[in-house]
Structure 1
Amino acid sequence: MDNIIDQIKATTLFGQLDAETIRNCLESGEFKIVSYAKNAVIHFEAETANKLEVVLNGKVAVEHIDESGELLSITELFHNDILGGNLLFSEHPVYPMTITAQLPTVVLAVEREALFRLLSENPDFLKLYLSSISGRTQIL
């Protein structure tokens, strides 16, 4: 478990949390480590966003299929990038595009209520979260 905690602490957002907090969240199931195979769909377009995800390793693509059926690659996400952070607390928290793993990928998935608790209890964590999602509002 220490290796997983180290991977989580290596992210900008969760790096300032202490190891004990991370361990407790992992043990309670509030934090989950999820692995995806290459080409696996992580989220479908119009799927409800109910957790924050941070790429721990791998490569993720944000894609959209246009009216003519063409697949458009919007952006790629790598280690430390956040997925769904700006959707989670919105009025209509749905993914506007499809998210796929372009390589074998591992993400940290944080339940919405656990994230809200951490944001409420830790002003520095809240500032980092707001800063992280503000820069990516045009994507996801």
Structure 2
Amino acid sequence: MDIKNYLDILKLTGLFDRLSTEELLDLFKDNRYIISQYKKSSIIHFESEKCTSWDIILKGEVTVQKIDEKGNVLTVTEFRTGDTIGGNLLFSKHPYYPMSVLAKSNADILHINKDFVLHLCQNSQDFLIQFLTCISDKTAILTNKIKSISMKSIRESIVEFLNYEYYSQKSHVIKLPLTKNELAERLGIQRTSLSRELNKMKKDGLVDYDSRSITICNFDIIRKL
């Protein structure tokens, strides 16, 4: 696959926006990269796989998941076109993926090898700053996710989700942007545990729900912003 087809996307990441088309083509002319296509639900990186490249999503969406010994799936975060993966592992003394990376949809991924990344950092201060920003942001996402899972009950996690969607959708009837199974994965709980807690909240008069929405019945659970 030809990098020429993705130059506009590379510029949108903020990492290469100061470079002209000609400069970008010159950077990638030595073929120190691979563009791979992945079908929906296929694994891009396995848990414990060694990180040997810095990845940029050129098309599609990917999800980072952790599967425990009981088969429970926790969706840590999702990334879309223009996002990057692996920068926080590539130069680590322990460069192994702690979780699996899967294609949520058909995806095109640019894999840039370690030497190329080092070359870019050494030759452009702007790129170095943007690269470090990417690393910091990914670390913050993971830290916040772990913190939210370890410190919140199931009900608190549901209420936090409802708060976010209430102010986002500006409605007390929250249309679910994902399936109940996907919501359970995002919250780091089992599907049955989510259904059980929603049923308890319904009996308590806090919410009502169906397969496509959750209706807020008691606004005491909504934080005033």
Which residue matches 2:107? 105
Paired position in structure 2 for 1:117? 119
SS at match of 1:127: helix
TM-score (norm 1): 0.90
Large movers: runs of 4+ above 6 Å: none
Q: 1:5 corresponds to which residue?
A: 7
Matches within 5 A, 1:1-140: 1=2, 2-138=4-140, 139=142
Across the aligned residues of Structure 1 and Structure 2, the Cα RMSD in angstroms comes to 1.8
**Offset, 1:92:** 0.6
Give the superposition deviation at 1:31: 2.7
If asked which structure has higher relative contact order (CA below 8 Å, sep 6+), I would say 1
Give, in whole Å, the separation in 2 of the partners of 1:58 and 1:39.
12
Kindly indicate which of the two structures has a greater share of residues assigned to helix: 2
Identity %: 36
Structure 1 CA distance for aligned equivalents of residues 19 and 97 of structure 2: 27
State how far apart, in whole Å, the 1-side matches of 2:25 and 2:108 are. Answer: 18
Q: Structure 2: which 5+ residue stretches go unaligned?
A: 144-225
Rg: which structure is higher?
2
C-alpha distance in 2 between matches for 1:24 and 1:40: 32
Q: CA deviation at 1:20?
A: 2.9
Segment drifting more, 11-20 vs 80-89: 11-20
Partner-residue secondary structure (3-state), 1:14: coil
User: Normalising to structure 2: TM-score of the pair?
Assistant: 0.58
As a proportion of its length, which structure holds more strand? 1
Following TM superposition, by how much is the alpha carbon of 1:71 offset from its aligned partner in structure 2, in angstroms? 1.7
- Does the 8 Å CA contact 2:6/2:58 hold for their aligned counterparts? no
Give a deviation string over 1:52-111, Cα, whole Å, max 9, x none: 001122110100111211121111111121101111111111100000001001122111
